[in-house]
């Protein structure tokens, strides 16, 4: 079903937008949201995603996903959904590309450790940090701090959430973000579940026969008409891609129904609906939660992953304590935020921006006093 033209009026346009905090002259051939996307791609924090963990630390195997390739995959899924629904593709892509800019080194274990270290100082949550990154820490323009993105791009980050994270930045009055931002939330969830499963099988931590009876996997294998003898990368990869295709299709069809059932007529209706408009059907959501629970128990919490968590903890705790004690070891730029936001937040900002490799190198330099 393609109801593209029917729902175009629910997408964000330049005319409906609240614009930028600092007005800028229109570009002759790029729309405002194209410029947001490009500002994000050109940001230093975007480049650093290449060196940040998705599930496996970069450098272990060049075939595993990094935080950057995950981000690109989220953007591809998000833009496809936005295109089918006639929404703002550039806004969707911009939010997708920015959604993990604030992620810490060492993946979600690094985030959890930083949150513990920041207990009593506002905590740490990577969705909130992504917004802080684009509003303050990036500084490519002389006139202002941050990237000066459109309001709706920032709202999408301020309302970005997943099964494990809930940002809900209180500065935004809207209950929900635009449909484009909600698409980002779902595209992120679909991407990391499908692709973490694929990487888990590539690593051989997960075997295909462990998941063959799970509903989503079984539906995909039945569609492909494959058997489970002679486990191979091609087989597992095609199953995962078929799962992804099913999830995206279900999301589009369910969202069409939600628009009708929630009586969504305007963008304001989207912002203040009783719940998110974009989403999966109840049955498919339950099937995806089964995958999430499986991954938590059989990939994220395995003994090898727990060893990596221990190494990350030692590294981050040492760096954090040392920089709080000796902030002069930080670059001048980050020291400049101490008076504004406090010593601990400035240290957290610096550490959260590090890649895995740089963090380990910096740890060794601190331990050896080799600056």
pLDDT at position 1: 43
Distances (CA, A) of 371 to 265, 267, 323, 329, 363: 60, 54, 14, 9, 11
Distances (CA, A) of 235 to 22, 208, 214: 51, 9, 16
The predicted-structure confidence for 205-217, as pLDDT tens digits, reads as follows 999 889 999 999 9
Q: How confident is the model at residue 166 (pLDDT cuts 50, 70, 90)?
A: low
DSSP 54-90: SSSPTTS-TTS-BHHHHHHHHHHHHHHHHHHHT--HH
Q: Which residue shows structure tokens 């891609």?
A: 241
The predicted-structure confidence for 179-201, as pLDDT tens digits, reads as follows 999 999 999 999 999 999 999 99
**Stretch 19-31: mean pLDDT:** 93
Residue 2 has pLDDT above 60, yes or no: no
Are 334 and 362 in contact by the 8 Å Cβ rule? The answer is no
pLDDT at position 231: 57
Residue 163 has pLDDT above 70, yes or no: no
Distance CA(100)–CA(255), nearest Å, equals 24
Residue 82 has pLDDT above 80, yes or no: yes
* Longest CA–CA separation in the chain, Å: 63
pLDDT at position 171: 84
CATH value at residue 99 = 1.10.3210.10
pTM, 2 dp: 0.93
Number of helices (H), then strands (E), belonging to the chain: the values are 18, 0
Average pLDDT, the chain: 92
pLDDT at position 167: 57
Residue 61 has pLDDT above 90, yes or no: no
How many alpha carbons lie under 13 Å from residue 310 in its C-beta half-sphere?
A: 7
Distance CA(346)–CA(334), nearest Å, equals 6
Q: Which residues of 172-187 are buried (b: 16+ CB within 10 A; e: fewer)?
A: bebebbbbbbbbbbbb
Outline where DSSP puts E strands in 280-331: none
Q: Which residue shows structure tokens 């990368």?
A: 233
Distance CA(181)–CA(13), nearest Å, equals 14
Q: Which domain holds residue 212?
A: 4-368
pLDDT at position 229: 64
Domains in the chain: how many in total?
Answer: 1
Distances (CA, A) of 9 to 79, 90, 129: 17, 16, 31
The predicted-structure confidence for 282-308, as pLDDT tens digits, reads as follows 999 999 999 999 999 999 877 677 777
Q: Which residues of 327-342 are buried (b: 16+ CB within 10 A; e: fewer)?
A: eebbeeebbebeeebe
Are 181 and 95 in contact by the 8 Å Cβ rule? The answer is yes
């Amino acid at each position: 079903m393609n109801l593209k033209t029917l729902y175009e009026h629910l997408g964000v346009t330049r005319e409906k937008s609240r614009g930028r905090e600092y007005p800028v002259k229109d570009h002759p051939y790029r729309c405002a949201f194209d410029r947001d996307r490009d500002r994000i791609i050109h940001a230093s924090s975007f480049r650093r995603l290449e060196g940040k963990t998705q599930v496996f630390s970069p450098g272990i195997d060049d075939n595993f996903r990094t935080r950057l390739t995950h981000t690109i995959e989220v953007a591809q899924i998000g833009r496809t959904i936005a295109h089918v629904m006639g929404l703002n593709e550039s806004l969707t892509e911009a939010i997708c590309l920015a959604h993990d800019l604030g992620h810490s080194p060492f993946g979600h274990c690094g985030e959890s450790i930083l949150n513990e270290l920041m207990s009593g100082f506002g905590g740490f949550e990577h969705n909130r940090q992504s917004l802080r990154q684009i509003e303050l820490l990036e500084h490519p323009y002389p006139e202002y701090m941050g990237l000066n993105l459109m309001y709706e791009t920032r709202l999408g980050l301020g309302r970005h959430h997943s099964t494990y994270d809930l940002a809900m930045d209180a500065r935004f009055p809207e209950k929900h973000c635009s449909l484009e931002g909600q698409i980002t939330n779902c595209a992120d969830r679909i991407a990391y579940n499908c692709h973490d499963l694929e990487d888990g099988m590539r690593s051989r931590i997960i075997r295909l026969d462990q998941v063959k009876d799970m509903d989503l996997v079984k539906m995909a294998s039945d569609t492909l008409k494959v058997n489970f003898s002679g486990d191979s990368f091609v087989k597992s990869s095609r199953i995962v891609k078929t799962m992804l295709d099913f999830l995206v299709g279900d999301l589009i069809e369910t969202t069409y129904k939600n628009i009708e059932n929630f009586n969504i007529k305007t963008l304001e209706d989207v912002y203040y609906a009783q719940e998110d408009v974009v989403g999966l059907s109840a049955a498919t959501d339950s099937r995806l939660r089964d995958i999430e629970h499986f991954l938590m128990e059989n990939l994220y919490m395995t003994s090898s992953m727990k060893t990596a968590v221990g190494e990350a903890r030692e590294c981050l705790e040492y760096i954090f304590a040392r920089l709080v004690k000796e902030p002069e070891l930080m670059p001048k730029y980050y020291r400049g935020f101490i008076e504004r936001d406090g010593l601990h937040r400035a240290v957290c900002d610096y550490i959260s921006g590090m890649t895995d490799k740089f963090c380990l190198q910096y740890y060794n330099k601190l331990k050896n006093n080799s600056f």
